[in-house]
């Protein structure tokens, strides 16, 4: 972006957008030094007010809707919390599939963990048989509902699978 100069202001402002994405303001005082102080104070208070409005709007946002895995296909492009039982965990070289409620290919929805994020989740095979909550945006991929898991805070174990008792082990 070229330099922009406002011709009538007591303060000349040049704005240049750099490739790194930063915005640089070059200020040059022509007449009044106090003009800078007032403009700076106004700018800071304006930015603080805008930040407070953004935080207030974010805090008023409603929590994601809770749905079952079977309902997922009705909620494409929505951020929801999906509850279901992990029926199958399939580990592939580049990703891990977590199928909910039924094994592949009958699973109503699945979660994908790409290789770059698998270290955040520990041993995903241990999830089989457990009741979980998955938070994320439901996407349609090859006619199935999926959520991409990129952070461990998207996955919560609600109920652990029942472990065999001592009498059953013998």
CB 84 within 8 A of CB 138: no
- Res. 8: pLDDT tops 50: no
Higher pLDDT, 103 or 166: 103
pLDDT digits (tens, 9 = 90+) for 118-163: 999 999 999 999 999 999 999 999 999 999 999 999 999 997 766 6
Domain boundaries, the chain: 11-60, 65-159
Is domain 65-159 annotated with CATH 1.20.58.1910?
A: no
The shares of helix, strand and coil residues in the chain, as percent rounded to the nearest 5, are: 30, 35, 35
Percent of the chain with pLDDT over 90: 56
DSSP letter assigned to residue 165: P
Q: Where are the beta strands (DSSP E) in 69-162?
A: 79-91, 95-100, 109-114, 131-137, 139-141, 144-148, 155-159
Q: How far apart are CA 133 and CA 67, in angstroms?
A: 9
């Amino acid at each position: 972006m070229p330099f922009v100069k406002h011709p009538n202001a007591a303060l000349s402002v040049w704005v240049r957008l750099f490739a790194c994405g930063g915005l640089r303001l070059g200020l040059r005082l022509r007449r009044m030094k106090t003009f800078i102080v007032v403009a700076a104070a106004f700018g800071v208070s304006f930015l603080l007010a805008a930040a407070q409005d953004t935080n207030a709007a974010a805090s008023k946002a409603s929590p994601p809707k809770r749905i079952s895995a079977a309902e997922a296909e009705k909620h494409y492009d929505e951020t929801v919390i999906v509850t279901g039982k992990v029926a199958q965990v399939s580990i592939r070289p580049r990703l891990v599939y977590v199928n909910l409620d039924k094994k592949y290919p009958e699973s109503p929805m699945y979660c994908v963990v790409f290789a770059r994020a698998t270290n955040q989740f520990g041993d995903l095979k241990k999830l089989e048989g457990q009741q979980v909550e998955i938070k994320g945006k439901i996407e349609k991929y090859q006619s199935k509902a999926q959520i991409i898991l990129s952070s461990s805070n998207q996955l919560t174990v609600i109920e652990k699978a029942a472990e065999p008792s001592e009498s059953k082990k013998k």
